[in-house]
Each structure stands twice: as C-alpha cells, then as structure tokens.
Structure 1
Amino acid sequence: MDSEQHDKEDKGQRAVQSIEVGGRLLLALAASRLPMSLKDLAAEAGLSASRAHPYLVSFGRLRLIEQDATSGHYALGPAALQLGLTCLVQLDPLKVALPIAEQLANSSGLAVALAVWGNFGPTVVRMIDARQPLHVSMRAGTVMSILGTATGRAFAAWLPRHQLEQAMGAALGDPPGAAPARSLAADDAELREIVAEMRAHGVCRAAGRPMPGVNAFSAAALDHEGVPAIVITALGHQDQVSADWDSPTALAVRDAAERIAHGLGAHPLRR
C-alpha cells in the first residue's frame, strides 16, 4: 500500500490520510476568489508543488478542478459545482442552527430563540427556555416586530426596504395601533442606526423592549448569497444580560451567528 494511502486512527475512527491531504487543495481553491497557480495553491495547502501536482491530476480526471490552458492556473471544476449545488438543496438552516442555539442556551442559561423570515415577517421557529423562569410572550410561531425587537432589527439590518415594508405592523413589539404595511419613510433614521449597529458590533439589541426588564441581543446568520437565513437571539433579565455592546451575551450571540453562517457556506464577515 502506498505510504499516502494508509489509514490512520483519528479519535477512534479510521480515516484515509491521502484524502485529507488532497482535500486541503480543494479547500484552498474554494477559499480563493480567483484561479491559483500551482505554486500558490500548494503553499496554501501546506504542500510542495511536486507533492500537490499528482492530486491535481486526479481531481482533474474527476472534474473537481480545471486547469486553464493558457495561464496554467487551477480553479474548481463542474463536478465541484454540482456538489455545492446539491449541498445547498439539502441544506436546512434550522438543522444547522439548532445545535449551536442549544449550546448557547446551555452555556449561558439564557433563553435562546431562532427565527426565520416568514410571510408576515420575523417568525420564531424554535424557543429554548431559560434555566431560570423568564416570562416572555415568544414561542414558536410568534411574529416579531421589525423595529421593536432585537430579532426584527437583525433582519432589518440586511433585508431590502420593500421586503421590510410588506411585513410592517401588528407584530410582537410594535406600538399599539401599528397599521399593517405602513411605510418605512418615517423610520429612515432608525433603519440607518440599525445598519450602523450591525456593522459596528455584529449584533442588534433591544434593552427593556418590548418586555420591560428584559434585554436581548440578536444576530443574523447569512447564507452563501449574503441573505439572512436565520436569526439567533439570546434574552434574559437585565440583571443577567448587560445591554453593553461588548457584554458576554453580545459576544456569544455574534459568535453563534458566525458559526451558523459558516455551516451555511457563507464567507466570513468583514467588519
């Protein structure tokens, strides 16, 4: 058996080392916006050019990569595209997000909610209760206010205006008498504030609203197209959750959203 084809033990499971080595080349190409030379590609994968080349020949036969005839640079091929498209079809944002949300709830003791953008706006699809009783009106199926809740604000930071206007009004956190489908023209300043908050801190917050004495932080997990696929929110009593932008809760929510986004194939956010 070739030395690069031997199996190894890894945490009690057998793994083919040569596949892991070659996989580093594919991952390097996936992380690059442009085709790569053999030298640069091998260096990025931590290999010598002579060691990387046989892997690239095999990947080329499988159509996982392509080599430009003029420049000699390598890029992902049609088979890699098909794998990616199939993965996107099978991908379920809630399935990706739920274990991360449960971990956040367990480590913090706070209530954690997951919400998606539904027909009527931000809609809670999973609510994990706090370790200590927290009397809130959020449950699966609750539609959240776009501007009056941290969850809604996390969506508002990324979605286009026309999509937000279609869902305005009559949600948890809206002021009494809010009319459906109202214009956002009067809320331009607040929308700009929401976008600025997200860019500066990676999270949105709601301090004492819509529930007095309860603070919340939310962040959107973007998919591969930069669209908010799901929003994760952590909330608790103000004596447990500081409203400070750099509080442990704010940082934990931001980290959780980034981990979910990574699982959805998104590129890392640059703030």
Structure 2
Amino acid sequence: MSDKENLPKIQALIVGFSIIELVAKSPQPLKFNDIHHHTKITKSNLHKYLHTLTSLGVLYRDQESGHYSGGPALIDYGMATVNSENILEKVGPFLEEINILSKETTLLAVWTHDGPTIIHMIHSRAGLNLGGQVGTVLPIHSAGGKLFGALLNGPLLDEWIAGETEHLSAEEKATLQTDFEEIQKNGIAFASEALAPSISSTAIPIFNHDSRMLGAIIIVGFQGTVPASLEEELSVQLLKKSEEISSLFGFSK
C-alpha cells in the first residue's frame, strides 16, 4: 500500500462528493427522498449537506418542485476543466494510432483567427510531407476546411467562408454547400486535389461536451490511399475514433 493511501481522508468531503456525483450523473433532477435512498445518509445530516452545497452553487434546488440538479458552480468548474485541457496532450496518442492505421500523414487542426490551422502532424510511413506544415491554414476545399465549414459556427467562420468562396462560381458554391450537408449528416469529410495535385484527404471532428467542434484529425495521402467514401472500412474506423476521442472531452450522442 502506498503512502498516499495511508494518509487520513476527510470523511465529510467524501460524503459531500458522493452526493454531488449522484446528482450530477442522474439523467433527471432528484428529490430529497431519492438522494436519501441512494446515499443512506441520515435525513438530518443530508439536509445540512444539501443546504451547504446549494448555498455554494454546486447544486441547485428548484423552489417549486424541491428537486435537486447540478448548480451553476458545478457547470463552471466543468467548463474551466475542459477549457484548460491541452487538446494535443489528449489527442496525441490517437493521432499515432490513426497514423499507424492509415499509414498516411496525420494532422491535427484547430480553429484560429486565420482559419483551420495545423498544430501537429505525423508524417506518413514513407516519410512524405503531403499536408503542409505546422501553422499551415487549410483551404476550404480540403477535407479539414470543409469539416470546419460544415460543423463550426460563428462570425469568424462566416468571414473565413466568405473570403474562401469569394471567387467561386455559383455552381461551385452550390457543390460546396452540398458537401457541407453531407458532412453534417455523416460526420466525416472527403476531398481530392485541394492541398496539391493527386493528393486526397479525409477528416473527422473532435467535439466537446456541448457538441462544439474543438478540432479535426485529418489524414492526407495520394489518391486511392485514403478513404473517398463513407462505405470504406477505414472511414468506419475513423468515425469510431471520432466518437472515442470526443468522449474524452465529455461528448456523447
């Protein structure tokens, strides 16, 4: 047994956190009797705990029903934790897995004021650099660019799309919009010859707990070496990876 396990624990904190965990994980607000039933805490002590937790904003008590749910402070703590997390630190091992799985250049891109930007890359097994470099801003016709265009929202995105499509014909804009709709439906993007001649790319999103897109994982290779359709086995595997990675940031369907 380690020294840490031998250290004394504050029982009141353990009890308090058991209440918080119960309420936070419940799919609906809980009544006092529900909490009492699950925790087995005496009613007199439970009243004290609930009063303290609601006064701190960790729990919220509806004045009409008397039911308890997560409070604003609990939500703020969760948001602060998510926002402070280093996306690369969490996603890095998955990038390596996808690089081994696809044998192609693998990129991680996030949104910046300039547009979707590469922040990390792992070269292909052949050592070829087909996807730009760290700091490269992806064009809208790339798989990563289309993914952000389809799944992100906000005035900065609108400005970026307007700039990227300024010189496109009406037909090209319509095709791009169709691509956006397919991405929104399927959760994966495909592109060819957007980064360079004969080069294709495939991109999957990373979402957080409120379904906001945090970034994109992109594989880049010569045409025929990366997926070009939803039905391909690697596309199926990438979609599973998208869900697995997003779950680390609190996302669930």
Same fold (TM > 0.5): yes
After TM superposition, the runs of 4+ consecutive aligned structure 1 residues lying more than 6 A away are 18-21
1:182 is matched by which residue type in structure 2? Answer: E
**Structure-2 change in CA distance of 1:220 and 1:184 (3 Å):** farther
Q: CA deviation at 1:218?
A: 0.6
In structure 2, distance between residues paired with 1:168 and 1:80? 36
1:172 is aligned to none
**Structure-2 change in CA distance of 1:26 and 1:112 (3 Å):** farther
Cα deviation, 1:163-220, whole Å, max 9, x if unaligned, reads 3453359xxxxxxxxx778277835423431232113321011135433443321122
1:182 is aligned to 166
Q: Is 1:264 the counterpart of 2:232 in the alignment?
A: no
1:25 is matched by which residue type in structure 2? Answer: L
TM-score, normalised with respect to structure 2: 0.73
2:135 is matched by which residue type in structure 1? Answer: G
Instruction: Give the secondary-structure state (helix, strand or coil) at the position aligned to 1:249.
Output: helix
In structure 2, distance between residues paired with 1:213 and 1:96? 32
1:149 is aligned to 142
Aligned residues of 1:121 and 1:164 also touching (Cα < 8 A): yes
Match 1:117 to one of 111, 129, 134? 111
Q: Is 1:127 the counterpart of 2:111 in the alignment?
A: no
Structure 1: runs of 5 or more not aligned: 1-6, 8-12, 43-48, 170-178
Work out the number of aligned pairs and report it: 237
Q: CA deviation at 1:127?
A: 0.7
1:77 is matched by which residue type in structure 2? Answer: G
In structure 2, distance between residues paired with 1:143 and 1:102? 22
Structure 2: runs of 5 or more not aligned: none
**Structure-2 change in CA distance of 1:69 and 1:256 (3 Å):** same
**Structure-2 change in CA distance of 1:134 and 1:181 (3 Å):** same
Q: Name the % identity.
A: 23
Q: CA deviation at 1:126?
A: 0.5
**Structure-2 change in CA distance of 1:160 and 1:85 (3 Å):** closer
**Structure-2 change in CA distance of 1:50 and 1:182 (3 Å):** same
Instruction: Give the secondary-structure state (helix, strand or coil) at the position aligned to 1:157.
Output: helix
* Cα RMSD, aligned residues only: 3.7
Match 1:242 to one of 218, 227, 235? 227
Aligned residues of 1:94 and 1:230 also touching (Cα < 8 A): no
2:160 is matched by which residue type in structure 1? Answer: A
In structure 2, distance between residues paired with 1:258 and 1:245? 16
1:261 is matched by which residue type in structure 2? Answer: S
Report the structure, 1 or 2, having the larger helix content: 2
Aligned residues of 2:109 and 2:117 also touching (Cα < 8 A): yes
